[in-house]
Amino acid sequence: MIENQSDNIDNKVNLDLNHDNAPEDTSSTQNSTTKNDELSSQEKEEINTEELKNTISNNDARLEQLEKEHETLKNQYVRISADFDNFRKRQSRDQDDLKIQLVSKTLTAILPIVDNFERARQQLKPESEEAQALHRSYQGLYKQLVEVLKQQGVSPMRVVGQQFDPNLHEAVLREPSEEFEEDIIIEELQRGYHLEGKVLRHALVKVSMGPGKQNSQQEVEKDTVEGDVDSEENTSEDV
Per-residue pLDDT in tens (0 to 9) along the chain, 239 residues: 444 444 544 554 454 444 444 444 445 555 556 655 665 676 677 777 877 888 888 888 888 889 888 989 999 999 999 999 999 999 888 888 888 888 888 888 999 988 888 888 777 777 777 777 877 888 888 888 889 999 988 999 999 999 999 999 999 999 998 888 999 999 999 999 998 888 999 999 999 998 864 444 444 444 554 555 454 444 444 43
Q: Which CATH number does the domain housing residue 197 bear?
A: 2.30.22.10
Q: 193: which DSSP letter?
A: E
Does the global pTM surpass 0.75? no
- Residue 22 parent element (H or E): helix 2-123
Asked if residue 171 belongs to a domain, the reply is yes
* Contact (Cβ atoms closer than 8 angstroms) between residue 157 and residue 203: yes
Q: Are residues 130 and 162 in the same domain?
A: no
Identify whether 82 is part of a domain: no
CB 184 within 8 A of CB 162: yes
Phi, psi angles (nearest 5°) of residue 201: -150, 135
Q: Is residue 114 part of a domain?
A: yes
Is 164 found in the same domain as 205? yes
135 Cβ partners below 8 Å, 6+ apart?
A: 124, 126
| Within a domain: 189 | yes
Q: Does residue 194 lie in a domain region?
A: yes
220 and 171 belong to one structural domain? yes
Range of the domain at 102: 91-152
User: What domain count does the chain have?
Assistant: 2
DSSP assigned state of 162:
S
